[in-house]
Amino acid sequence: MSDSPIDFYTKITSFKIRKENHLDKSNTHKNKRDDSFLDSLQDWIWEMDINGFHTYTNTAVESILAYTKEEIIGTHATSIWPENERSQEKIDRFNKELKLGLPWEKVRSTFQTKSGDVRVLESSGLVIFDDDGKLVGFRGVDRDVTHIVNIENKTKASEEKYRNLAEELNEANNLKKLLLDIISHDIKNPVHVIKGMTKIIMETHPEDVSIELLGNATEHLIQVVDHAQVLSKISNNENLELEPVDIVGLIEDKINNYRFVASNKKKELIFDSIEKPNFNSHPIISEIIDNYISNAIKYAPEKCDIKISLKQHANTLIFQVADEGKTIPKDKRKFIFERNTVLDKKNRHSHGLGLSIVQQISQALKLKIGVRPNNPQGNIFFVEFPI
């Protein structure tokens, strides 16, 4: 219905109330016809006198409050209020407000059904006058909005629940950030001591390769701690500031860090690159490089080459790592960057976190990542940087 309840009721009952002993037969017939139509409506149409006693009701009251017409007519409006709302103070205030003779629109109130249930009705009422302009009562319509109120209450409860969850999550994020700062600080202190001692030993034993590897590992650990703080910013959707990055240098450093591990597994790391490009990004991209190379070493068979390349195509830098391991099935490739995805179930040490970190970084920096099959077998993991 496009009309509001009160407008609709005004249109279909636009007649003045007269005293019963002044009604002629034609008016009585007209009222009977109106009553028949009103009984066909689903909303509760009612009339009451100036003292609050019902003088008319349609049959909709039976489906809404379970009372018959005969049980409602002659009863006071407050008699169907819930018991906890039916204090003498509230009844007196209601009777006093009726005497003011003011209309109301879409006022929600609770009512008690015959069986004791509570319903919420939305009420609109007009004042009615006799031929002399004297206020004699009210005519109105009540619509059952219990289901709407229940939905609204559930929505409010849900909003409150998720607002509390959001606050708890924010607090947890702040705690996580504080904890990460503490851990970073406490780890960096002894690591810098190891770094300093390693440097001293390297100066006295420059020919010792193992000392050099220890120094590189120490630098890598410091970088891991720094990157953990950056990844925390990414998880909180914070923006990363871009800066000039020596991507060729980053790749070469990672290759040098993994060359010893690769040679122990009889794998050769081969790097093919363009000249150092002018390139702005964030140093966190070294995590992508690290994950691609370490995965290739981990999953490629022994006695094979791992080909690492950096090429430029138009305005895009393409870094890729090609291995000769087991080719990832086509239907699995779209899941490979999701968290906890582990294709090699035999590898109990893998938790499927590395490539999910790659995906988080790529989303934060708006990079394109992916994997495609190598020929004749294996996989090529790639990332594209706009320049």
Q: Is the whole-model pTM more than 0.85? A: no
Are 373 and 280 in a shared domain? yes
Are 123 and 12 in a shared domain? yes
Report the CATH number that the domain containing residue 363 is assigned in CATH. 3.30.565.10
Are 225 and 291 in a shared domain? no
Within-domain flag for 163: no
At which residue do the structure tokens 């925390």 appear?
Answer: 232
| Cα–Cα distance for residue pair 95/277, rounded to 1 Å | 86
Burial zone of 252 (CB within 10 Å; 0-12 exposed, 13-18 middle, 19+ buried): middle
Tell me the backbone φ, ψ of residue 157, rounded to 5 degrees.
-65, -40
Report the CATH number that the domain containing residue 82 is assigned in CATH. 3.30.450.20
Are 279 and 176 in a shared domain? no
Are 265 and 347 in a shared domain? yes
| Cα–Cα distance for residue pair 250/239, rounded to 1 Å | 22
Range 319-355 burial, b when 16+ CB lie within 10 A, else e = bbbbbbbebbeeeebeebbeeeeeeeeeeeebebebb
- Per-residue pLDDT tens, the chain, 387 aa: give them: 334 433 434 433 333 333 333 333 333 333 443 688 888 899 999 999 999 999 999 999 999 999 999 999 999 999 999 999 889 999 999 999 999 999 999 999 999 999 999 999 999 999 999 888 899 999 999 999 999 999 998 988 888 888 888 787 777 777 766 666 676 667 777 877 888 888 888 888 888 878 877 887 888 787 777 777 787 778 777 888 899 999 999 999 999 989 888 998 889 999 999 887 878 999 999 999 999 999 999 988 888 899 999 999 988 999 999 999 899 999 888 889 987 666 555 554 444 568 988 998 999 999 999 999 999 999 999 999 998
Are 379 and 331 in a shared domain? yes
Are 293 and 319 in a shared domain? yes
Are 304 and 373 in a shared domain? yes
Are 248 and 203 in a shared domain? no
Last residue of a domain, one of 238, 264, 287: 238
Number of domains in the chain: 3
Last residue of a domain, one of 211, 238, 265: 238
Last residue of a domain, one of 128, 144, 160: 144
Are 261 and 387 in a shared domain? yes
Within-domain flag for 151: no
Within-domain flag for 269: yes
The answer to whether 106 touches 122, Cβ cutoff 8 Å, is yes
What range defines the domain where residue 72 resides? 5-144
